[in-house]
Amino acid sequence: MTVHEQVEERPPAPGDAAEGPRTSELEGRVALLVGAGAIGASIAAALDTAGAEVVIADVDMERAEAVAESTRSRSAVSLDLTSAQGCQSVVDDITARFGRLDIVVGSAGVQYVAPIHELPPEQWERILRVNLTGPFLLMRAVLPVMYRARWGRIVNIASAFALVGVANKPAYAASKHGLIGLTKVAALEAAPFGVTVNTVCPAWVRTPLVLGQVADLARTRGIPESEVESQVMLGPMPIHRFIETSEVAKAIRFLCLPSSGAITGTALVIDGGWSIA
């Protein structure tokens, strides 16, 4: 069974993920973006064009640097999201360098396609560790910084599969459902300090990670690969198309703006109508 990891995606070349004209909406703010895959590159561009200083973090430093090259700050750090010490060290280093850390966006994730009775227990544990424990460890490290500043924005990327059931992705769906619950708790705790915590829940986004799942989905569903996109991926979506990375990135930028301070604990669904069909 093939393992698909978001951290394995190759980012666009510098400049490919441009997100419109530069503004000053986030001028003076410092943002940490975790995950340098295709979605991460688009988010980096969106935050950069809004005026934020963006630091790119990934388990692969080369990948992080490739995305960072397209931003003004050109800042990249290596981060093992599953390490409490690693998360704390990155937060400490950024605050020491910039004097603040205002925004955290979590875009890293892993998954494994298999039914429950075939899912190796070590894959279950790995997926929960990266997709759910990792965001917890990062929030644990950064929330005190934001509390002291009395301002902050945290956006966790969940999935449409955090809202609906999906066959053959038990660990992935469980981790994303859990991420929404964790985000709600964090939002309640952070609200008195001017910190918002939200999730974004996209359906199938047009990325190498998604397109690379066709063979696994065909095998587990028992259908030809040629039918996977129309039946499995896009079939449940009334808006019958892939979500673009820029659509996800612009939604995240919106949640990071000062004007979005009354939005917290929510799951912003970008699923083409899947969850309401």
Q: Is 172 a catalytic residue?
A: yes
Q: Which long-range contacts (CB under 8 A, 24 or more apart) does 80-84 make?
A: 81/34, 81/106, 81/108, 81/130, 81/134, 81/135, 81/137, 81/138, 82/129, 82/130, 82/133, 82/134, 82/137, 83/137, 84/137, 84/140, 84/141
* Residue 121: both structure tokens together: 């227990």
Residues in the chain: 277
Contact 43, 21 (CB under 8 A): no
Sheet containing strand 75-78, edge to edge, reads 75-78, 53-58, 30-34, 103-106, 152-157, 195-202, 267-270
Helix (H) or strand (E) holding 41, with range, is helix 38-49
* Residue 127: both structure tokens together: 């997926």
Contact 249, 255 (CB under 8 A): no
Candidates 172, 204, 242, 274; catalytic one: 172
> Which residues is 269 bridged to in the sheet?
201
Calpha distance 115→113 (Å, rounded) = 7
Q: Which amino acid is at 202?
A: P
265 in the Ramachandran plot: left (φ > 0), alpha (ψ -120 to 50) or beta?
Answer: left
Q: Could you list the active site residues?
A: 172
